[in-house]
Chain A
């Protein structure tokens, strides 16, 4: 129940395409859902995050869609660029209990954007 399932494992799109990465969870106590972007040799960088009181959040070219009833959330990258090529991790955390605030990560999606 603590898992966050992320798909696909890898994704290749052409420049300008809209890659979509999906995540699903079971634990209804989760109430914070961040996405991290990680380049080789670097630490994960917080990209965008959403809480379950909204269904969509946009920051620049990045959009999170959140479906609370389906317990799913996804990341959309508009007008993708070769510089977006990285590994993307979704995550979730709960706001109470012994593991409060601890991030549960998905397994990651390696995105390649071709010129």
Chain B
């Protein structure tokens, strides 16, 4: 079992739907990340939150909207997605945010998203 919990595990949605992915960690980590992973590819960084503030947005389309309600929670709001957005969405956390140096990132098991 991972210490980063993601829900739901699977999500199927139409292109006009609005849904949200949720990530939770209770390790006291202050940096949280969203990644997108296509089949047989490495994870690609989407967003980084450091001390609950968005610090990095890797030119992600606006149909993906991140939110960090508190230091333990990270959401990814989805709206009007395209079929090519089907992928495994991974959340990760690390002990320090920006300025804290390199710290190990711990990943959840992801949400498998399918866009019809």
Contact = CB atoms under 8 A, between A and B. Distances in A.
Interface string A4-41: 00000000000000000000000000011010100001
Contact of B105 (A41, A46, A98, A99): A46
Contacts of B45: 102-103
A43 B2 contact: yes
A99 B31 CA distance: 13
A101 B32 CA distance: 11
Given A34-B104, A44-B107, A108-B41, A101 B94 contact: yes
Tell me the dominant secondary structure on chain A's binding face. loop
A60 to B, nearest CB: 17
Nearest to A91: B42
A89 B42 CA distance: 7
Interface string A92-112: 011100111111011110100
Interface stretch (B11-19, B66-74, B75-83, B95-103): B95-103
Interface in B31-60: 31, 40-43, 45, 48, 56
**What are the 8 A-B residue pairs with the smallest beta carbon separation, nearest first?**
A105-B42, A32-B102, A43-B107, A43-B109, A44-B107, A43-B110, A42-B109, A93-B102
A106 B107 CA distance: 17
A107 B90 CA distance: 17
A45 B108 CA distance: 9
Given A34-B105, A105-B43, 8 more contacts: A41-B109, A44-B107, A45-B2, A46-B104, A89-B42, A101-B98, A103-B105, A108-B41
A33 B103 CA distance: 11
A82 to B, nearest CB: 21
